[in-house]
Structure 1
């Protein structure tokens, strides 16, 4: 990727003067799992996180950032944002709502700042990797910086 080709996530981090590392890689036409991405960028799978966008019955959106090798606990997710029930946002709405596509959805630089929760497992690491805004890019960022830039709260939201 050319050095001057920036994603919304990268532009937002640059404006905030937040340090980050970019991992660019090739992807096949089919979807890559988070575990496969971790291998490609040579990162511990526990430190590579995926971004999930959920919605309530009123179509209000919530962002959850969890390890790629874990599954979101929908009850814990709803409870932490004081909702009765949440559902995964329909995939066909993802780009329109966030500006990102499946496999390239970053918690940073969405079209608007949604309530965001980062799984508590992130606290054991100084840095984690999240999507950089493209299917072919991951950003490694300090957990504290990710919390700050997304105004996230930390909570245990994955199945044990």
Structure 2
């Protein structure tokens, strides 16, 4: 990956000396991935506070479980138009690392079962693969059961 293609996420990982592998989405071997792909979702609670949840792409955020994990009565998904001004990221390129402000961040506890996970590198079309064991060097986060298998 050329220097001009480096994202803020990659720079933060390098600054914190966290090993990572960068990919462009078309380079990710989707049919034989040995590690799961995670998505970053931004929400807000009744208190007005914002929260970041990182879950496997094939799962849905359980809003009740997520609210409980952050001590809110309920939470709502942030509107797409509000994402860039709040986080510095666009829809499809949102990463838990390198946001404008560090929000309370919760990863689905499933990351504990993997040696490597993949998530957005902060730019549409780019991803980073990291070890969940290294995330605490970059992020202050918690783990919780926050997913469900369907939208219902």
Structure-1-length-normalised TM-score = 0.85
Q: State the partner residue of 2:30.
A: 39
Q: State the partner residue of 1:23.
A: 23
Cα distance in 2 for residues equivalent to 1:111 and 1:144: 24
Cα distance in 2 for residues equivalent to 1:52 and 1:159: 14
1:72–1:159 CA contact under 8 A, matched in 2: yes
- Cα deviation digits, residues 41-75 of structure 1 (max 9, x gap): x524x610000000012431100000000000000
Question: Which aligned segments of 4 or more residues in structure 1 are displaced greater than 3 angstroms?
Answer: none
What runs of 5+ residues in structure 2 fail to find an aligned partner? Answer: none
Cα distance in 2 for residues equivalent to 1:5 and 1:54: 28
Shift of 1:3: 3.2
1:129 aligns with 2:129: no
Cα distance in 1 for residues equivalent to 2:94 and 2:45: 19
Structure with the larger strand share: 2
1:54–1:89 CA contact under 8 A, matched in 2: yes
2:37–2:118 CA contact under 8 A, matched in 1: yes
Q: State the partner residue of 1:55.
A: 44
What runs of 5+ residues in structure 1 fail to find an aligned partner? Answer: 27-36
Shift of 1:112: 1.0
Shift of 1:38: 6.7
